[in-house]
Amino acid sequence: MQLDGKIALITGGGSGIGRATAVLFANHGAKLAIADINPAGGQETVEMVAEQGGEAFFVQTDVSQATQVENMVNEVVERYGRLDIAFNNAGIEGHPVRTVDVSETDFDQIMAVNVKGVWLCMKYQIPQMVALGGGTIVNASSVAGLVGTHSMPVYGASKHAVIGLTKSAALEYARKGIRINAICPSVIRTKMVERGFAEFPQFVEATKRINPMRRLGEPHEVAEAVLWLCSDAASFVNGTALAVDGGFTSQ
């Protein structure tokens, strides 16, 4: 029970890595706020947590909208009295195109969710943690934030930016007892990835071949890493970008 009695907020909790992390956190004793732009997915995660004896509630949130993010954090504090842990996981991938073919609309949307969304979440989460005397934040980056990504230039740029935000905030609030890290998964078997494979099925086996472990990652494998970063077991880990990638970035 590594998070026994902790209050945790997970954005993008309606599917994939966010959902897997929510279930794992609940199994380790945390009470949860599940945020997602998709009510059906968010409510389904809440039900999954409840089925396993955990406690969670859903708050519909578009993380690119400041008012909604502020309301999300306020709802957590009003319900539970505090916020100990945040996993800022909400993100979008955009369409695979080369740099010169990216539309301005797609650029703005990806940056609004993946970068502004993470910044807004920290903007409203950190003051609550400062008032509490400490806390832990994990931001969802990607291996695309560590290396170049062919035909996903804006997604890659957004995930590099998440690491920059993470490192800066970690420096600023280390003496306030707040640890802030980023998680950097490679290709994980989520709905986001399945959408891409449905459009380009030839990439499935190719993606497996370029990973040293010759397979995709699973959401629960990333969730375990997020759990560790949020637990006292990682008490001296701060400002890092942890790759969960089967060795992909070691090549």
Question: Has 80 been annotated as catalytic?
Answer: no
Using left for φ > 0, alpha for ψ between -120 and 50, and beta otherwise, residue 151 falls in: left
The Cα-based distances of 215 to 15, 108, 183 in angstroms read 21, 32, 19
- 8 A C-beta contact, residue 34 and residue 106: no
Q: What is the DSSP letter of 188?
A: B
CB 115 within 8 A of CB 103: no
Dmax (CA) of the chain: 51
**Structure token digits, residue 225:** 């890493």
- Report d(CA 56, CA 45) in Å as an integer: 9
Q: Measured between alpha carbons, how far is 148 from 185 in angstroms, rounded to an integer?
A: 14
CB 12 within 8 Å of CB 36: yes
Task: Choose, from 80, 124, 155, 173, the residue flagged as catalytic.
Answer: 155
Listed residue (116, 170, 125, 145) closest to 242, CA to CA: 145
Cα–Cα distance measured from residue 29 to residue 125, given in angstroms and rounded to the nearest whole number: 21
List Cβ neighbours of 139 (8 Å cut-off, separation of 6 or more).
88, 118, 122, 162, 165, 166, 180, 181, 182, 183
CA distance 168 to 171: 5
**Active-site residue numbers?**
155
